Structures are given as C-alpha cells and as structure tokens.
Amino acid sequence: MAKDRPSLKGRLLVATPLLTDPNFAGTVVYLCRHDAEGAFGVILNRPLDTEAIEIVPEWAGRCAPPSLLFDGGPVRRTSALALGLDLDAALNPTTGWTAVQGPVGMVNLHAEPASLSPTIEYVRLFAGSSGWDSEQLDREIREDAWFVVRSRAADIFTPEPQTLWREVLRRHPRYALYAFFGSDSSQN
C-alpha cells in the first residue's frame, strides 16, 4: 500500500474484464485488511458444492443462505474462516469477533457459537483467502485489473452470489456499462 493512499479495508475489489487470471476472473473480493504489509480478503461470489454443516456443524444454523462453503481464494484453501454480520458489534465488542467495517467482522470459528454475541445474525464460511504482498494490490489496481467500490453488508451475505459481480457494477454509474461485458447481446 502506498504511504499516501488510504486503506481499502472494507471495500470491494471487482475484477475488471482485463483480469483473466482464473483465480480471480469474474470475482468480487471483500477486503478484510489493507495496510503497509499487504492486503487480505475473500472472494464473495464463488460458492462451492459443500454444505456448511459438513465443515462446521455448530455454525450451520447461523449461515446466510445459501449455507454453503465459499471459495475464498487461492491462499490456504484448507483453512476455513468466516465473516459475520452483527448489527450490535460496534456497541458491544466481544471476544471472537474482529471488526472489519460497520456490522461486518471476522468470526473466530474455534469459539463456541453460544460464547459469542447472540446478535450475530449471519456468518458466511470461506475455504482459503486472497492475499497480496505490500504494493502488489496497488499495482494491480493501477493496471486496471480491479474496480474498487464501496461495500454493503448485503453484498457479503447475498443469497444470490452468482449475480453479485453484475449487481455491484450496475449500482455504480462509473462501472455500470461493464455489468454487461460478455453478455449475450440478443438478451439486451
């Protein structure tokens, strides 16, 4: 991260049509950290075929639909992590919760769900994550690999992750035209 650039923590990285790396083509990444040491996030729109109950049964009741495990990215794919939605987190910080932005935070999956805030409405589970070294993400943004947009909690916990890339682009006037990139023109 450049010293003069603000942190992008809590923002979405939306892959531009120029990004053809199969790890990230067509993805929407939520940035959980972005600082001088690098960046870390999870892909929001790649659900896997694995039910969450198979991985962490004690958390299955709090999973946002679809209650599937998501491919968070190419880093440490054998590790599970979770994002949660807790509208009271800012008022009542709890152990096992690391705030990212507003009501969205990282949930410690090793904690007993009952020991955490009862106000955690949803969790979304990810296998692996996405990461960038210091300056790498800034370079990719300058090379037009990513659009950077504000996130909404609804983006992270959308029940329709397969449409998230287009939906996020559509709501941003600067990028709305790209939402139709690769579409069948007969359907426009």
pTM: 0.91
Task: Return d(Cα 85, Cα 122) in angstroms, integer.
Answer: 5
Each of the 188 residues of the chain gets a pLDDT tens digit; together they read 555 678 999 999 999 999 999 999 999 999 999 999 999 999 999 999 999 889 888 888 889 999 999 999 999 988 889 999 988 776 666 677 888 998 999 998 887 777 777 778 889 999 999 999 989 999 999 999 999 999 999 999 999 999 999 999 999 989 998 888 764 333 33
With 0-12 CB in 10 A as exposed, 13-18 as middle and 19+ as buried, what is 55? middle
**Are 60 and 81 a contacting pair, CB within 8 Å?**
no
**Which tokens in the block code for residue 143?**
């090379």
Domain residue spans in the chain? 11-182
Look at residue 93 in the predicted model and tell me its pLDDT.
62
Q: Does domain 11-182 have CATH number 3.40.1170.60?
A: no
